[in-house]
Structure 1
Amino acid sequence: MTIIVLLLLLDFALTTALSWLNLAYLRRRAAAPLPPEWAALLDTSRFPQMVAYREANTWLAQGARITDLAVTLGILLSGLLPGLARWAAALPAARVVQGLAVLAVLGAISYIAGLPWGLLSDFGVERKFGFSTITWKTWLSDQVKSLLLLLVLGVPLAGALLFLMERMGETWWLPAWGFVTLFQLLVAYLAPVVIFPLFNKFEPLQDEALREEIFALARKAGFPLGGVFQINASLRSTHSNAYFTGFGKSRRIALFDTLLEQLSHPQILAVLAHEIGHWKKRHILKGMVGGILLSGLGLAVVAWVLARPWLYTVMGMEDLYRAVGPVGPVAAVGLYVFGVVASPLGLLLAPIANGISRRREYEADAYSLELYDHPTALEEGLIRLT
């Protein structure tokens, strides 16, 4: 347990240090003279507000981190986990249901702990700086819909994993890997046509001239585009964005209505050319394949860890492990502890992931200029999105 606590404290210290170092760097850059090539593009009068916005979000994130650390340490050190597992194991239900009960309680604790910080972000910081337009009605509707999606998608996924753990022994991760992969592909296919429209209104792009320009750009790149839609993102925020989503017949471009108001046609086309660049350079495919391989590796490691008796000895539930095995409520506790430990270890991979991401962004920028040779429009569009 000492090692787990030290990992959590180290993760907290490093994340906090990086957050404040980033803020300090931003302050220095905002106070320094701009290079001539940037002076004509950036409105320096907005720099103080930009720094203030980042500082407010840094403090907000710090509060959320402190809360998360306190709650996690409380769960680990209070004896809640073994008590929760024993309570669930006594329920007159199948082991899978008992495991789901443990995950539901832990998930509820996490949700409640994070709720105040989400509210402070939406109705505090974002509103103070003129970004948030969300109403309490919309916020509550989002929470209910998110919970329903969790019940429809998350519970079956978790239940399937717990079922495979119980029936397949230590090799459960192999069929689980296949199931998770198919599940992710299905969600990626259905999300643009089923899930996303639950939260925003999607309608065909009303600007016919822009729509034709976008389709022409896609044809020039050989990009198979299923449709171009605009969404009422202004219902929640004035932030703007554009993204590709789905694959096959569900592949589409979604443009925030705020983007359509803030960017000109050339700027929008340049930004979309950048996004097409990710597809052209196979970044999306590489990311998908990499994600599938990493999920397989992750599940294999989880299977190995959950089968180790020392994990449950550390948690003070060795007796329950011997009586039940690494299934149901015991497996649910093991999954939680593994997730707690994996988060700090993931921080070690962040520099590699950031390096890959940055290189791919540069490649997409370069392709954007090949496809749509308007460098000024790309500069201005990306600056407005930042």
Structure 2
Amino acid sequence: MKKTFLLWTGLGYIAYASFVLLYLFVWSDSGIPPSLQGSAADPAVFMSEREQILSQEYSTYQNLLYLLALPVEWIIYTFILVFGLSRTLKKAALHKLPLYVLFLSAVTWIITLPISYISRRLSLDYGVSVEPFTKWIRDNLVSFSLSTLLMIFAAFVFYWLIRRSPERWWLYAWLILVPFMAFLMYVQPVVIDPLYNDFDRLSNPELEESILQLADEAGVPAERVYEVNKSEETNALNAYVNGIGDNLRIVLWDTTLNRLGEDEVLFIMAHEIGHYVKNHLLKSLFGVLGGSLLGLYALYRLLPVVIRRWGEAWKVGGVSDIASLPVVLLLLSLFTFIAQPVEMAVSRQAEQAADEYAIDLRPDKEAAIGAFQQLTVSSKSDVAPPTLIKYLRYGHPTMLERLSMLIEEREGS
């Protein structure tokens, strides 16, 4: 079984990698439609020739890395199972769940860390990232620590529920997940986000007053605007509204403040305010919870089938055996991948609605076009990405679509 696994995994990955290379470098066509050439949506209008080349290269290499890395997590979990390493980890952890989760998380993190580093090097080489190695590794360690603690908690609840209620654990797990996800959304702006960056009140009081006035017009209960020091790690631009209740925050990256004019910043903020007004944060939460319910039920149905079929070969004692955790994580990762195109499509619709709201709130089409063009230049984004990449990676409409909409709005006004 082990030799067969290695053989077919190797051959399968070679075939997959060959398809990815052909798709990105031969088959995909991300050119600008003739009708939009020479318009504000054409990179040749707002980028130099050198910038266009770098943006295309950077986007292509990042897409290549993403697609090549996509099955790596599945391979890791399957390798651990096929070679009986899950039971070995359980013995090394003295059958203690927290230690077992820590060991499993550490193995996965260490193996995938080079992929993250390659992505960082690409960003540095193409001038998108400026993050020092010390901060990059620190942020990775913080993310590893947080995700491991959450996984320990989730695994403890998961196996406790399975032992207490073998037929209804999936429903009880979901009922626990509902308030937990709401709690995470509530504390993220004040507990989690500050672990990565420093947040201060907006340094420009006049701009803050304009943004708060814009928020007041839209009915957003904000009392201040926060500025985050992202310039220590990136040249990209961004802004967002997150949190719920009295932890709601309007946040601007300092790179956005440094690169955009006031009218462009106000359009970007109008877009973010649109997410709040249209309840996209709550809708996103409900979507995650709905997907989680389906995922947990699918896990309830499939996990026993997989364990019955391969559990003995993998040295996994049963569904309630903590050595089954790689099976659980493998199935959940596959469910997430299957749902990803749907999630991205819903997100793109929400982003388009926020764009349309921003145009109504701040009907300065030139500022909007300028903001989107600067976002493209700073992040070296592909204006018209390949179709597969759009459906798998793009939670926003492509810049070609966003700029095209603004051009139509401008011409129709």
Structure 2 matches for 1:1-386, cutoff 5 A? 12=16, 16=20, 20=24, 24-26=28-30, 28-29=31-32, 34-38=37-41, 42-45=46-49, 46-65=51-70, 67-68=72-73, 71-72=76-77, 74-76=79-81, 79-80=82-83, 82-85=84-87, 88=90, 93=95, 97-98=96-97, 100-122=98-120, 124-308=121-305, 310-317=306-313, 320-321=316-317, 325-346=318-339, 350=341, 352-386=342-376
Sequence identity percentage: 26
CA offsets, 1:112-153, max 9 Å, x none? Answer: 12111211222x211111122111221232233223323443
Unaligned runs of 5+ in 1: none
Change (3 A) 1:335 1:179: same
d(CA) in 2 for partners of 1:112 and 1:165? 30
TM-score normalised over the length of structure 2: 0.78
Q: Given that residues 85 and 333 in structure 1 are in contact (C-alpha distance below 8 angstroms), is that contact kept between their aligned partners in structure 2? A: no
Letter in 2 for 1:121: S
Between the aligned partners of 2:311 and 2:19, the Cα distance in structure 1 is: 26
Distance change >3 Å, CA 216–CA 18, structure 1 → 2? farther
Letter in 2 for 1:112: I
Aligned CA distance change for structure 1 residues 19 and 101 (closer, same or farther; 3 Å) = farther
The number of residues matched between the two structures is 369
Farther-moved stretch of structure 1 (140-149 vs 265-274)? 140-149
Equivalent-residue separation in structure 2 for 1:22 and 1:226 (angstroms): 52
SS in 1 for 2:166: helix
More helix by share: 1
Query: Using a 3 Å threshold, how does the CA distance of structure 1 residues 377 and 319 change in structure 2: closer, same or farther?
Result: closer
1:84-136 per-position Cα deviation (integer Å, ceiling 9, x unaligned): 2366269655xxx34x44443332222112111211222x2111111221112
Superposed CA offset, 1:24-58 (max 9, x none): 423x3399982435459522422112112123323
Structure-1-length-normalised TM-score: 0.83
Cα gap change, 1:262/1:149 in structure 2, threshold over 3 Å: closer, same or farther?
Answer: same
C-alpha distance in 1, partners of 2:346/2:333? 25
RMSD value over aligned CA atoms?
3.4
Q: 1: CA distance between counterparts of 2:324 and 2:114?
A: 30
- Shift of the 238–154 alpha-carbon distance from structure 1 to 2, 3 Å rule, reads same
Question: Secondary structure at 2:127's aligned position in 1?
Answer: coil
| Aligned 8 A contact 2:78 2:330 in 1 | no
SS in 2 for 1:243: strand
Kept in 2, the 8 Å contact 1:23–1:55? The answer is no
Q: Distance in 2 between matches of 1:378 and 1:157?
A: 43
